[in-house]
Chains A and B, each alone.
Chain A
Amino acid sequence: EVQLVESGGGLVQRGGSLRLSCAASGFYFSGYWMTWFRQAPGKGLEWVANIKEDGSNKYYVDSVKGRFTISRDNAKNSLYLQMNSLTAEDTAVYYCARGEGWVDYWGQGTLATVSS
């Protein structure tokens, strides 16, 4: 069974940092692109970033470029999102998902709240 479990969310002050993690199980993690999405409270879904199977290619939405870094550790079956210089607009539930363009499995999400 494919499982994706996010962690690392929490309350942080504006300008601070958070590192989100996504633990994957039930599939060959090294064989898939992985993606981060987010959803601000009461809003729609937004793509944040994705990363190729071997980490050699990464893409970001413009609003997070230069502040967020996606990475992965295939030996640990884990995906990460380092978020720096956080603003109130980054407050959201962050989901990891399996896949590049189309994603087939999602985690349950982790809430990151940026206080001003």
Chain B
Amino acid sequence: DIQMTQSPSSLSASLGDRVTITCRASQGITNSLAWFQQKPGKAPKSLIYRSYILHSGVPSKFSGSGYGTDFTLTISNLQPEDFATYYCQQYNNYPLTFGGGTKVEIK
């Protein structure tokens, strides 16, 4: 199975900050990488697929990059609605696997 390692597991940031979350795959997954946002008690929301393509309706403050084993999610100009947990997921191989999540909290 492909292991997905996210870092950091949590971070504190202020309104207006730019933050970057990293995701590393235990083996190459080309660009078969997605990012999801989840708020407490809610279903996940799809943000990005194929490493960098924004899902319909996702604001351009979110951006993704990476290929192979190393990926990043960057969120610019943090706003209250962005404080949530973010997950990466690889879909290059079965079983599909997720990173452990990164909780973005208000400083």
Contacts and interface: CB of A to CB of B under 8 A. Distances in A.
A32 interface: no
A108 B46 contact: no
B44 A47 contact: no
Interface stretch (A20-28, A77-85, A99-107): A99-107
Q: How large is the interface on B (under 10, 10 to 19, 20 to 34, 35 or more residues)?
A: 20 to 34
A103 B32 contact: no
B57 to A, nearest CB: 10
A109 B97 contact: no
A104 B98 contact: no
A46 interface: yes
A47 B43 contact: no
B89 interface: yes
How large, as a class, is the contact surface on chain A? Answer: 20 to 34
Nearest to B94: A59
Nearest to A6: B43
Nearest to B49: A102
24 contacts: A44-B98, A44-B101, A45-B36, A45-B44, A45-B87, A45-B89, A46-B98, A47-B96, A50-B96, A95-B43, A101-B32, A101-B34, A101-B91, A101-B92, A102-B34, A102-B46, A102-B49, A102-B89, A104-B49, A106-B44, A106-B46, A107-B43, A108-B42, A108-B43
Interface of A: 37, 44-47, 50, 59, 61-62, 95, 100-109
Interface of B: 32, 34, 36, 38, 42-46, 49-50, 55-56, 87, 89, 91-92, 94-101
